Amino acid sequence: DSGVTQTPKHLITATGQRVTLRCSPRSGDLSVYWYQQSLDQGLQFLIQYYNGEERAKGNILERFSAQQFPDLHSELNLSSLELGDSALYFCASSERGTANEKLFFGSGTQLSVL
């Protein structure tokens, strides 16, 4: 158990809809990362937050947004969903948010857009 909690584990929705994925980081970790893993793809970095502030941005679509709340949990919002958004979305956390830290991953949210 990594200590990172992601909910829900599975999400099935239709094109055009909006969903929210939730992540609770490991106790004591200030930084949260979101990654997307599509079929046969590696983990694509989406966005990183540190103590409530956005720290780094990757290949995140404009239809996607995220935030980190004062209690340090994070939410990833995906809107106007398309079939291609179907993927496994991972949240990870680390203590200081520096690039050389090892990340602790949640078990992911499997999103299926039909």
Partner 1 sequence: DQQVKQNSPSLSVQEGRISILNCDYTNSMFDYFLWYKKYPAEGPTFLISISSIKDKNEDGRFTVFLNKSAKHLSLHIVPSQPGDSAVYFCAASGISNFGNEKLTFGTGTRLTIIP
User: In this structure, how many other beta carbons lie within 10 angstroms of the beta carbon of residue 21?
Assistant: 23
Q: Smallest gap, in angstroms, from Cβ of residue 29 to partner 1?
A: 14
The residue (of 70 and 100) whose beta carbon lies closer to partner 1 is 100
Instruction: List the one residue from 12, 51, 57, 63 that touches partner 1 (CB under 8 A).
Output: 57
Q: Smallest gap, in angstroms, from Cβ of residue 113 to partner 1?
A: 20
Task: Confirm or reject binding of residue 4 to partner 1 (CB under 8 A).
Answer: yes
Q: Smallest gap, in angstroms, from Cβ of residue 57 to partner 1?
A: 7
Q: Over 44-108, what HEC string results?
A: EEEEEEECCEEEEECCCCCCEEEEECCCCCEEEEECCCCHHHCEEEEEEEECCCCCCCCCEECCC
The residue (of 61 and 80) whose beta carbon lies closer to partner 1 is 61
CB hemisphere CA count around 83 (13 angstroms): 1
- Helix, strand, or coil (residue 5): strand
Instruction: List the one residue from 30, 43, 61, 95 that touches partner 1 (CB under 8 A).
Output: 43
Across the strands, what pairs with 32? 49, 93
Q: How many residues bind partner 1 (CB under 8 A)?
A: 27
For binding to partner 1 (CB under 8 A), which residues are involved?
2, 4, 33, 35, 40-45, 48, 55-58, 90, 92, 98-100, 102-108
